Amino acid sequence: MATADGNGLIEGLRPFIPPGAYQMRLIDWKTVMYNGRQPKVVLQLAVCSNGYMGTPLERWYNATRLIGKVGRHGGFAAPGSGDLLFEYVDITGNSPRRSDRINLSHLGDRLLLGHVETVVKNQRQRVRPIDLRYSVVRRLEKATV
């Protein structure tokens, strides 16, 4: 039986916290090839709100292609109409000249507001048992303090 550690973390499972808006900070990012063919950028975030302080969550984005090494701090090109570019410009107020020149380290010194949702179904649209549900960040924006 899995047990919670008080931060919404269950050993061996992805983190779960109640849906809502939470203050967060960027910890790191990586690039991955999802299912071996879909390029993705993954932001690794930590919740900075009371009660769930330090809970790690992720925000996944589509990429048009990956550049260079795949993994931690890998290069990528973002789709011009994708969420990554929209959220980056909204948060930083800067529009990159090219979609393959987005500097995610600019997000590291900012307080972010992450909108968290619960994943209820798997990729085959089967409803997950309550104990196997987990949280993801569906949208990021600049936090107002």
**Two structure tokens written together for 83:** 């969420």
The residue with greater pLDDT, 13 or 24, is 24
Q: Is residue 5 domain-resident?
A: no
Q: Which of 27, 35, 30, 41 is nearest to 79 (CA)?
A: 41
* Dihedral (CA of 27, 95, 66, 68) sign: negative
Q: Is residue 6 domain-resident?
A: no
For 89-121, the pLDDT digits (tens) are 999 999 999 999 999 999 998 999 999 999 999
DSSP E strand stretches across the chain = 20-34, 38-47, 56-62, 65-67, 75-77, 112-119, 134-142
User: What percentage of the chain exceeds 70 in pLDDT?
Assistant: 92
Q: Is residue 63 domain-resident?
A: yes
Q: Is residue 4 domain-resident?
A: no
Q: Is residue 130 domain-resident?
A: yes
103-140 burial: b if 16+ Cβ within 10 Å, else e: ebeebeeeebbbebeeeeeeeeeeeeeeeeebbbbeeb
Asked whether residue 84 carries a pLDDT value surpassing 60, the answer given is yes
Report yes or no on whether pTM surpasses 0.75: yes
Range of 81's domain?
20-142
How many domains does the chain divide into? 1
Mean pLDDT of 53-65: 97
